[in-house]
Amino acid sequence: MASRLHVADSRPEDWVYVSEGGATIVFSYRGTENPHFQGRVLRLRKTALSNNDTGHSVEEEPDDPMIAFQRDVISCIVPQAFLPDLDVILLNESWLGAIECLRNSDRPQERWKKDKIDKRRRKGVLATNLVGGEGIVAVEIKPKWGFLPREHHLSPQTVSTKTSTCRFCMHTYLRSQEGAFPTDYCPMDLYSRNETRMVKAIHDLWNAWVRSDGSLNNFRIFVSGKVIKPSHHDFHDVPIGPPDTGVSSSFNSGFIKETLMENLMRLLLDTRVLDIISTLQRTLDELDIEGLSKLCSMSKADLASMVAGPTPEDWRDFIRCYQTSYCTWDHANPDPKNIKHYLMAYLLSATFKDCSIILRFNQGGGSLSSHSVSIIDLDPKPMNKLGEWEELDRRIVEGYRAGGQQKRCAP
Ligand SMILES: O=P(O)(O)O[C@@H]1[C@@H](OP(=O)(O)O)[C@H](OP(=O)(O)O)[C@H](O)[C@H](OP(=O)(O)O)[C@H]1OP(=O)(O)O
Ligand SMILES: Nc1ncnc2c1ncn2[C@@H]1O[C@H](COP(=O)(O)OP(=O)(O)OP(=O)(O)O)[C@@H](O)[C@H]1O
């Protein structure tokens, strides 16, 4: 886009709350006046509520790193059709203050108690609105880790557990011990390409969605751009059947569930998106965090001390390597001279382990091509997370083993 977009070319009232994650909050444009904003969402960075830093932001703030990362890295390994368009949008503090006042009450309590829009930012992201449109039903799934690690680099203590139970199921167990909502969802079922297991996966996501009243972060349903909760009245008006059936006015939750699940299954069986995500997760994480840690020790370093993030040139170099020689390396005996690329591969794998997909259906069915599938939240992960991931992996596996759990997650 030649000239820069400015959020102040729209009114805060023209933007409505869509949803948020741990790091960002998203609003969609409902105005009619600015064609640049039609069909788009505004993705803004958040900061901790306790952060009272009111100092001025840097004059030349860099663009949100997600934009260059999608352009230079992600789009080399994920087909463009799955990616939303992203543009830089200029922000200003008073406009951000105004939208915060207007929309803070639309946010879930557990979020507004913790964080707020980072009003010092001068740049945000404008992206394709993947959930908007009258009569559009969109489902967001955060599928998480879709593979079991190879045994090469696992310790004798962890090998049998980590090659039997997937990381998500072990993490769910740990979280349930800490009081979180339990879920039966297993990503290995969703990624399995086996219809029966995939049906089970989406039913498990649905059931946890209902039990938690939509508060989990791995399954969301949007109708005409607005998130719905199982307990909301608007759930009764999901326009899910063919228009002439009158389904949307005669509420029948069983029917809505079955029809939605059927549509989801059709789309999931038709798309390569899950294959693409799990293949990238697995091939970029050939060593497991345990193997990566050992490789680091061989180079006289430790994961917790890794801080310097890769430069754009490093990423270009990595992508070239990933698309050529990387697959010929002997990952069972990794060469310490390749440590940098193994670290970058792990970072990139982490992005795909944490992304979400959005599946859109037009009201009343329609051909598969009139529906769409996209991947969101493909942010780069920072190098200084490696130490945390190593520690979290240890806690997850130890907690699982200590609890005497032995679930088998079939590959
Ligand atoms: O570690 P995980 O698997 O729990 O993933 C974190 C997510 O938790 P989840 O398991 O999806 O509920 C977590 O999701 P929530 O904020 O809990 O919705 C974040 O996505 C976090 O990434 P970041 O620190 O914001 O970059 C994620 O951290 P990363 O591991 O991707 O850095
Ligand atoms: N392009 C989009 N169109 C519509 N909705 C979107 C879009 N991008 C994000 N969202 C909504 O906003 C939410 C937050 O976005 P995103 O997942 O990118 O944030 P995040 O803070 O990085 O999340 P996480 O904590 O999971 O890493 C998403 O879960 C989704 O519901």
138 and 114 inside one domain: no
161 and 246 inside one domain: yes
Comparing CA positions, the residue from 358, 119, 331 lying closest to residue 220 is 358
Ligand 1 pocket member 65 (CB < 6 A): no
Q: Give the closest residue (by CA) to ligand 1 atom 4.
A: 171
111 and 140 inside one domain: no
Question: What is the length of the chain?
Answer: 411
229 and 143 inside one domain: yes
Q: What is the pLDDT of residue 301?
A: 73
Domain closes at, from 69, 95, 129: 129
**Residue 4 and residue 7: Cα distance in Å, rounded?**
10
**Residue 62 and residue 352: Cα distance in Å, rounded?**
24
How many alpha carbons lie under 13 Å from residue 125 in its C-beta half-sphere?
Answer: 26
**Residue 186 and residue 236: Cα distance in Å, rounded?**
28
- Angle ∠(114,57,309) on CA atoms, nearest 5: 75
The answer to whether the beta carbons of residues 292 and 298 sit under 8 Å apart is no
pLDDT of 181 higher than 80: yes
Beta bridge partners, 28, equal 16, 41
31 and 56 inside one domain: yes
Tokens of 10: 């729209």
Which ligand has its closest atom nearest to the C-alpha of 372?
2
Which CATH number is 95's domain given?
Answer: 3.30.200.110
Give the number of the atom of ligand 2 that is nearest the alpha carbon of residue 127: 1
**Residue 225 and residue 106: Cα distance in Å, rounded?**
14
Instruction: Give the Å distance between the CA of 48 and the centre of ligand 1.
Output: 16
113 and 188 inside one domain: no
| pLDDT digits 0-9 by tens, 34-62 | 999 999 999 999 999 998 766 655 568 89
Q: What is the pLDDT of residue 376?
A: 98
Which ligand has its closest atom nearest to the C-alpha of 385?
1
76 and 185 inside one domain: no
pLDDT, mean of residues 267-274: 95
Q: Give the closest residue (by CA) to ligand 1 atom 5.
A: 354
Ligand 2 pocket member 42 (CB < 6 A): no
Q: What is the pLDDT of residue 276?
A: 98
175 and 74 inside one domain: no
Write the ipTM. 0.98
| pLDDT digits 0-9 by tens, 367-393 | 555 569 999 999 999 999 999 999 999
Q: Give the closest residue (by CA) to ligand 1 atom 2.
A: 354
- What letters, b where the CB count within 10 A reaches 16 and e where it falls short, cover 121-151? bbbbbbbbbbbbbeebbbbbbbbbbbbbbbe
**Residue 169 and residue 149: Cα distance in Å, rounded?**
14
Q: What is the pLDDT of residue 243?
A: 41
pLDDT of 216 higher than 70: yes
pLDDT of 234 higher than 60: no
Hey, which bits of 182-290 come out as E strands? 219-223, 226-228
Q: Please identify which residue in the block is written with the tokens 């390569």.
A: 272
Q: What is the pLDDT of residue 300?
A: 76
Sort strands 137-141 and 115-117 into parallel, antiparallel or unpaired: unpaired
Query: Percent of the chain, pLDDT > 70?
Result: 89
pLDDT, mean of residues 295-311: 82
123 and 139 inside one domain: no
Q: What is the pLDDT of residue 370?
A: 54
* Cα of 374 vs its chain's centroid, Å: 11
pLDDT of 251 higher than 50: no
Position 320, amino acid: R
Domain closes at, from 129, 153, 173: 129
DSSP state, 377? -
Handedness of CA 136, 355, 184, 282 (dihedral sign): positive
Ligand 2 pocket member 379 (CB < 6 A): yes
pLDDT, mean of residues 248-275: 80
249 and 117 inside one domain: no
pLDDT of 242 higher than 50: no
Label residue 299 by pLDDT band (50, 70, 90). Answer: confident
Average pLDDT of the chain is 90
Number of domain units in the chain? 2
Give the number of the atom of ligand 2 that is nearest the alpha carbon of residue 26: 12
Q: Give the closest residue (by CA) to ligand 2 atom 30.
A: 19
Q: What is the pLDDT of residue 98?
A: 98
Which ligand has its closest atom nearest to the C-alpha of 390?
1
Q: What is the pLDDT of residue 55?
A: 60
Ligand 2 pocket member 25 (CB < 6 A): no
pLDDT, mean of residues 90-101: 97
pLDDT of 198 higher than 90: yes
Comparing CA positions, the residue from 45, 280, 239 lying closest to residue 143 is 280
Q: What is the pLDDT of residue 247?
A: 40
Instruction: Give the Å distance between the CA of 302 and the centre of ligand 1.
Output: 22
Region at 166 (left for phi over 0; alpha for psi -120 to 50; beta for the rest)? beta
380 and 239 inside one domain: yes
Task: Report how far apart the first and last C-alpha atoms of the chain are (Å, whole number).
Answer: 44
Query: Percent of the chain, pLDDT > 90?
Result: 80
14 and 93 inside one domain: yes
Instruction: Give the Å distance between the CA of 22 and the centre of ligand 2.
Output: 9
Q: What is the pLDDT of residue 244?
A: 40
Domain closes at, from 97, 129, 161: 129
pLDDT of 249 higher than 60: no
Q: Which of 289, 354, 389 to mutate to test the pocket of ligand 1 (most atoms within 8 A of CB)?
A: 354
In Å, how far are 3, 199, 359 from 234, measured between CA atoms? 40, 25, 20
| pLDDT digits 0-9 by tens, 317-351 | 999 999 999 999 999 999 999 999 999 999 999 99
Q: What is the pLDDT of residue 233?
A: 54
pLDDT of 21 higher than 70: yes
**Residue 78 and residue 83: Cα distance in Å, rounded?**
8
pLDDT of 220 higher than 80: yes
Instruction: Give the Å distance between the CA of 356 and the centre of ligand 2.
Output: 8
| pLDDT digits 0-9 by tens, 115-133 | 999 999 999 999 999 999 8
pLDDT of 222 higher than 90: yes
Q: Give the closest residue (by CA) to ligand 2 atom 19.
A: 21
pLDDT, mean of residues 8-26: 97
pLDDT of 307 higher than 80: no
- What domain range includes position 111? 5-129
